[in-house]
Structure 1
Amino acid sequence: MHPPAHARAVIIGGGVVGCSVAYHLTRRGWREVVLLERKRLTSGTTWHAAGLIAQLRATANLTRLAKYSQELYGRLEAETGVATGFRRVGSITVALTEERLEELRRQAAMARAFGVEIEEITPAEIGARYPHLRLEGVTGGVYLPKDGQGDPSGITMALARGARNGGASLHEQVCVTGFRMNRGRIAAVRWEAGGETGETAAEVVVNCAGMWAREVGAWAGAAIPLQACEHFYAITEPIPDLGSLPVLRVPDECTYYKEDAGKLMIGAFEPRAKPWAVDGIPPDAEFTELPPDLDHFEPILEKAVHRIPLLQRAGFRTFFNGPESFTPDNAYHLGPTPECPNLWVAAGFNSVGIQSAGGAGMALAAWMDEGEKPFDLSDVDIARTEPFQRNRRYLAERVSETLGLLYADHFPFRQKATARGVRRSPFHAHLAARGAVFGELAGWERANWFAAPGQTPEESRTWGRGPFFDNVGRELRAFREGVGVYDMSSFGKLRIEGPDAERFLNRVLAADVAVAPGRLVYAQALNARGGIEADVTVARLREDLFLIVTGAARRRADEALLRAALREEERVVITDATAAEGCLAVMGPLSRALMQRLTAEDVSAAGMPWGTVREIEFGLGLARVHRVSYVGELGYEVYVSADMAAHAIEALFEAGDEVGLRPCGLYAMNCARLEKGFRHMGHDITPEDHVLEAGLGFAVALEKGEFVGREAVLRKREAGLSRRLLQFRLQDPGPLLYHNEPILRDGRIVGHLSSGAYGHWLGAAVGLGYVPCEGEEIGALLASEWAIDVAGQRVAAEASLRPFHDPSGARMRA
């Protein structure tokens, strides 16, 4: 039977993810849900997945999604009558180095904060649970008793049965060939089946096409950056007396081991992967099995045979090589595409599709049904990506690295090495000449720190104090005692202009932007729950022109949010102006003296008060200066057009050499903002964090009238806060904080740090994190005994509602 002429939702792709989306949409009462599969269900990559189902992921919300998948698969067989093969066999991850053991201990602490059952185990305890493992070199490990494994095809068929039971129609052997577009939206999905062509009109389309998703997105002009890679595993003949075993991961040897029906599967995440079908996937691809390439797999297999001695006498039944899709940052893509509002995506699962599919389908269905994210999904939101990342050469280079990063050491400052240098600020060469050591974010090369003359610019491969620790301390002291400059050209710059610009922004943002031209406003965009969807500064440049400045990683998401909110009748134009201007942040007590050397105009507190914007003469050119600071000091953000950027930085350094100007990196900026308690969008403030509980009520203008989230703010103000964002400072100056470390109140875990860094000025590590406070006075809350769990060690901490550095804000407003 051919697909119907009309559907509320058309899902493209019949793998585990597509079937999960169909299942969850019908569970929410959606009817006319149609799934189209070009060949047969599971025939893309699902059929050859390993079926490992773990709970713990890198963030709280990814862990929430993985835990949901487990719970779903545990009940799915009883619900649908289709066997899923799901078993909670537990999992063990072992460390072969002290650095890996530190990572596992930090993961265990994080798991405790996330409510995941975990146990740190010794080499002897590892041997007792996995007797076939050679313990040579093993330094320790962790055991998760509720991790499991399942049959990928069985799970998919159970989801498909559940979707059909809910009223969805699933069609195999129907190849989607393109879209019929109408005014930037998909009007219909075109298909071919059995030699006939047709189309299905659709209200929304969900791209679950797996390794084909990039090409499917391109039909609607949407960038879906992912690329297939070859993925290898081997399966033994049946091994007598193998026994039932937990899943075993030995990331230092790039391997995982799964027992199934008396056989052992050995899988690999090799450091340098092999992209497949860069120029396009063969049109007849179905249940694709690639040549095994034993030369590529052999080095890892040799380590496996040494690590599991029984493999020396076991025969191998299968050497398998199959394609799986990977993304530039190892996170999958979920949500509406910024380019086409009714094209949604769930694809690019980086070899964790089975454990992710249940949660991803649930979250996407809720998002589609309710019109906003059910919780913070910024880790996987497709709007985090940049359009250039669809470039095939870029993807081929980057995914050759990201596959291996799944099992690499996840050091806190680790940088990706491939596909670099795509986007550079106009100050790049000048900063490189002064010793800048660059990292990458959203394709931008950004100076993270500056090497001293003669110092090797090493990457930090440690959980301890890396090679740049002292450099960052010196840069931070420049902000606090003298003057430092950092490059913030990568920050997003969105021009909002037109006769209705003020009205539009006042509806979308919680702050009041109805200020005079030349003024700055700090603002958040809220959702209906009062959670924070965007965190920006707004500069009013003219009556009909505003400039929004946001973080580099948030630029595209914030632009998508604004465009989605714009009504057809509103006379507003939104333009991304990020690359049009460079921006230098000149910060510190001596910044005013330095700025006065570069301009004849008055930059004093009277001539340029806090929160103002002015165009000034700068060197021989012009600049627009924003009097604002993200490091908690007197400072100026200097915006210059790209053509004058080289002159501006040369003039700045020439004048700055006389007052001790120090070039600084973004690591120092992050330390400074944490000492000051400034929030970071995506870490400290997210769509789940109520603006009042985040301590940002001062930026909400309830008196201005209606705006998105206003009712939620009023309700929370009436009901009182149930949690607060506190700042913490360790009492021991030794340990380091990054994020996700558990917060303990009177010996009990009550939350986790949303961000952390070493406070060089304060003399100890600092962090921010939410803690419950319902019905409590702040005095009683702060008087508790606080500690932070750092890799299993409880470190006493001081808690504060006010910033530890310059709590009154007098320094930056001077």
Structure 2
Amino acid sequence: MELPDKARVVIVGGGVIGCSVAYHLTKLGWKDVVLLERKQLTSGTTWHAAGLIGQLRATANMTKLARYSAELYLGLEEETGVATGMRQGGSISVALTEERLEELYRSAAMARAFGVPVEELSPDEVKARYEHINLDGVTGGVWLPTDGQADPANIALALAKGARQRGALVKERVKVTGMARDGRRITGVDWQSDDGKDQGHIACDMIVNCAGMWGREVGRMAGVNVPLHACEHFYIVTEGIEGLGQMPVLRVPDECAYYKEDAGKMLLGAFEPNAKPWGMNGISESFEFDQLPEDFDHFEPILEAACHRMPMLAEAGIHTFFNGPESFTPDDAYHLGLAPEMDNVWVAAGFNSIGIQSAGGAGVTLAQWMEDGEKPYDIGDVDISRMHPFQGNRHYLFERSKETLGLLYADHFPYRQKATARGVRRSPFHAQLLEQGAVMGEAGGWERANWFASPGQEPEYQYSWKRQNWFENSAAEHKAVRENVGMYDMSSFGKLRVEGPEAEAFLNHVCGANMSVPVGKIVYTQFLNTRGGIEADVTVTRLSESAYLVVTPAMTRLADETRLRRHVGDRRVVITDVTAGEGVLAVMGPKSRELLNKVSPADFSNAVNPFGTAQEIEIGMGLARAHRVSYVGELGWEIYVSADMAGHVFETLMEAGQDVGLTLCGMHMMDSCRIEKAFRHFGHDITCEDNVIDAGLGFAVDLSKDDFIGKAAVAARKESGPESRMVQFLLDDPEPLLFHNEPVIRDGEYVGYLSSGNYGHHLGAAVGMGYVPCKGESAQDVLGSTYEIDVMGTKVKARASLKPMYDPKSERVKV
């Protein structure tokens, strides 16, 4: 077997994803592209995929990628001569409850914001478009006319052929058996032929892990973490049904089922709530186009409901009962991008049963990223750097995968928390908070108090699209912070210590703000990319002449640390993750100074400890560091205390707090307070594709500094003026709720969507934030328009502001 001894890139895995990456790299003109498949192309998961092509995803960019896939597949046959079977027959999703109907109608509003054709349907209109359905219990539905279905294997083969036509080498029956590593780079891969007769080594500049359900093991071979686990996925195909013509795809999520007409037969598939993980002891070396054992007892409840919903199924014979493995990730989003642990290992794996509809978009995105060295747009939902190291733990993945398959069709309630694989990461205050009635949520594995139950109230979520059972609890916490004093746990936020003789120069290179500040100064800043987009939103505290503390959101700690490491170069700087070493209690509100004066002899006055400064303090019988900053828009301090003294400091503050009415608060309060103050939320309001000027954060960039990443782009945008402006909206009607992605209507025209939303308990109605395109317009022009927000198809009038509606001059934090 002849294989080259050198390649620019080696792609591991010949499913639809690997073929798409090869196709798109060659389309960009890449040569020396080698794809290695252990058995035959498509023989893992691709060959048995259902081939549904849905276009509406949870965010604008994920929707853009899904739409690209559909458009690509429509043209592939003409380009390659391989039939993809792509046809856009549309899809219908139906609801059996009022809650699900609200979810579907909110998704329809989102589709309008994203430019996807959509139509809300009454039960009778559902029947008119899908005559075979039994309407029993149906409350309504939505119609997406451009959705479709295709032949998964042929799509992969067409992509492979397109890649070959442009010079890629696609080799079947070649397994990657090992990798050579030099520091943070893979220098080549070892391979062996399927029959064991040939073996060799290919030196390469980079690799792409497209190994599907083998992705975790291939990741370990490359020294990177790719958390995913295979689960059994069931469907049946009936015998031929007389007179059955082409039909739209039908989804009935409340019954965990989807239906697809296929050549006069009906395919019924399931995403059941309690899935069956598979492959706990590894995957057989001989696995190729394999099926798993039937489990009719497991599938029977789905089939029973389906026969009621689709009466013709009761008459049709079952031609095929199929069970095949697919890989699922801890959060039901796929893995894409440059692995954090290495500088030339890319990942595209773990597609959670949406691999066919995602393959085109994922391939083009990854190829462009590999070409440019920067993400072409925000893909935070799926960026592999969102995964934390512990999430590669086998036991964790086994437990979580039982839930994630079913979550595809579960109600996607706002604030819904995962139920499995919980309690892995706990702050030093965890037990004390639970004793006080904390109801925990999870972020990056961290257990965080989201709200506090009242005495006698069940300390658990009761989910809804309306006001949930904790709404009034959070309102009371919000009121306490605005009017008195509240305390909440911020220990989960990332803490990165950056130190060394060149720490100041290094951070000045990476950050937009000036890091040449006195010891004790806290600087709010962003890490920018070359386009002036925001890669991270952090505070940086100067601890000494040679040491800084970078505080990041919990979810982006690894991504932010990775960005710092990739830009260090040969500077004399050491970066250390110290997140777990300190607990952090935020003490916020007009009486926060009064409370701290009760427990510490330190001087918390403006003269000694003004806003934006930190000081070492005694507290109770221990020591801590008090950072005077606020994400809730009130006077307050974040108290950093070493983990060993955390319990003591918590008890000290709680005891002294009884005299001033201290209230324990959760993350929901923090979010509702920050949105009233128009503070941006990274990953929602600000991302890598949002220029810092458009985001309204130009004040945090010092253009007088020597060259730093993104300086030219920020200067250019400051000169030309923003192309969009971040606007804060307050609904006129106090009843509707905002979450995110609700369309923004300006003077009757759809112009964008909300990047975040929450209830403003002090302002008295729901508050949203979102970008309004305004190229060539002044701030007055933007504010001179009338605005509405589309909430589930209803247009609600909203007041718009470019300044925070709460305390626009930030007087409260500086008193």
TM-score range, shorter chain: over 0.9
Match of 1:52 in 2: 52
Match of 1:136 in 2: 136
Q: Deviations over 1:651-695 (max 9, x none)?
A: 010111110000000000000000000000000000111100000
Match of 1:810 in 2: 811
- Structure 1: how far apart are the matches of 2:33 and 2:715? 38
Q: Deviations over 1:274-323 (max 9, x none)?
A: 00011211111111200110000000011111100011111110000000
Picking from 364, 367, 383, the partner of 2:366 is 364
Q: Which moves more between the two structures, 645-654 or 180-189?
A: 180-189
Picking from 409, 412, 420, the partner of 1:410 is 412
SS in 2 for 1:704: coil
- Structure 2: how far apart are the matches of 1:147 and 1:444? 37
Match of 1:334 in 2: 336
- Structure 1: how far apart are the matches of 2:556 and 2:752? 25
Match of 1:460 in 2: 462
Match of 1:28 in 2: 28
Conservation of the 8 A alpha-carbon contact between 1:94 and 1:138: yes
Displacement of 1:404 after TM fit?
0.2
**Percent of aligned pairs with the same amino acid:** 64
1:179-578 alignment runs, 5 A limit: 179-193=179-193, 194-195=195-196, 196-567=198-569, 569-578=570-579
1:124 has 2:124 as partner:
yes
Conservation of the 8 A alpha-carbon contact between 1:494 and 1:548: yes
- Structure 1: how far apart are the matches of 2:777 and 2:495? 41
SS in 2 for 1:472: helix
Match of 2:640 in 1: 639
Displacement of 1:417 after TM fit?
0.4
**Given residue 772 of structure 1, which amino acid in structure 2 is its aligned partner?**
P
Displacement of 1:166 after TM fit?
1.2
- Structure 1: how far apart are the matches of 2:555 and 2:625? 23
- Structure 2: how far apart are the matches of 1:566 and 1:511? 18
Displacement of 1:465 after TM fit?
0.4
Conservation of the 8 A alpha-carbon contact between 1:414 and 1:460: no
1:88 has 2:88 as partner:
yes
SS in 2 for 1:703: coil
1:41-190 alignment runs, 5 A limit: 41-190=41-190
Conservation of the 8 A alpha-carbon contact between 1:510 and 1:700: yes
Displacement of 1:780 after TM fit?
2.6
SS in 1 for 2:813: coil
Q: Deviations over 1:441-487 (max 9, x none)?
A: 10000000000011112313100000000000000011100000010
Displacement of 1:184 after TM fit?
3.1
Displacement of 1:144 after TM fit?
0.4
**Given residue 645 of structure 1, which amino acid in structure 2 is its aligned partner?**
A
**Given residue 231 of structure 2, which amino acid in structure 1 is its aligned partner?**
C
Displacement of 1:604 after TM fit?
1.1
- Structure 2: how far apart are the matches of 1:566 and 1:11? 28
- Structure 1: how far apart are the matches of 2:184 and 2:628? 39
SS in 2 for 1:423: coil
SS in 2 for 1:3: coil
**Given residue 96 of structure 1, which amino acid in structure 2 is its aligned partner?**
L
Q: Deviations over 1:16-57 (max 9, x none)?
A: 000000000001111000000000000010000000001000
Conservation of the 8 A alpha-carbon contact between 1:411 and 1:460: no
Displacement of 1:197 after TM fit?
1.7
1:39 has 2:2 as partner:
no
Conservation of the 8 A alpha-carbon contact between 1:53 and 1:70: yes
Displacement of 1:128 after TM fit?
1.0
SS in 1 for 2:301: helix
- Structure 2: how far apart are the matches of 1:332 and 1:731? 38
What is the number of equivalent residue pairs in this alignment?
A: 813
- Structure 2: how far apart are the matches of 1:433 and 1:279? 39
Conservation of the 8 A alpha-carbon contact between 1:536 and 1:549: yes
**Given residue 83 of structure 1, which amino acid in structure 2 is its aligned partner?**
A
**Given residue 316 of structure 1, which amino acid in structure 2 is its aligned partner?**
I
**Given residue 337 of structure 2, which amino acid in structure 1 is its aligned partner?**
G
Displacement of 1:776 after TM fit?
1.7
**Given residue 146 of structure 1, which amino acid in structure 2 is its aligned partner?**
T
Displacement of 1:794 after TM fit?
0.5
Q: Deviations over 1:248-272 (max 9, x none)?
A: 0000000000001101100000000
Displacement of 1:741 after TM fit?
0.2
Conservation of the 8 A alpha-carbon contact between 1:413 and 1:460: no
- Structure 2: how far apart are the matches of 1:114 and 1:475? 35
* RMSD value, Cα: 0.7
**Given residue 216 of structure 1, which amino acid in structure 2 is its aligned partner?**
V
Match of 1:654 in 2: 655
- Structure 2: how far apart are the matches of 1:632 and 1:519? 19
**Given residue 25 of structure 1, which amino acid in structure 2 is its aligned partner?**
L
- Structure 1: how far apart are the matches of 2:771 and 2:407? 30
- TM-score, length-normalised on structure 2? 0.99
- Structure 1: how far apart are the matches of 2:246 and 2:379? 36
Displacement of 1:3 after TM fit?
2.2
- Structure 1: how far apart are the matches of 2:459 and 2:794? 31
Mark the runs of 5 or more structure 1 residues left unpaired by the alignment: none
Q: Which moves more between the two structures, 184-193 or 4-13?
A: 184-193
Displacement of 1:354 after TM fit?
0.1
Displacement of 1:717 after TM fit?
1.6
Mark the runs of 5 or more structure 2 residues left unpaired by the alignment: none
Conservation of the 8 A alpha-carbon contact between 1:459 and 1:467: yes
SS in 1 for 2:442: strand
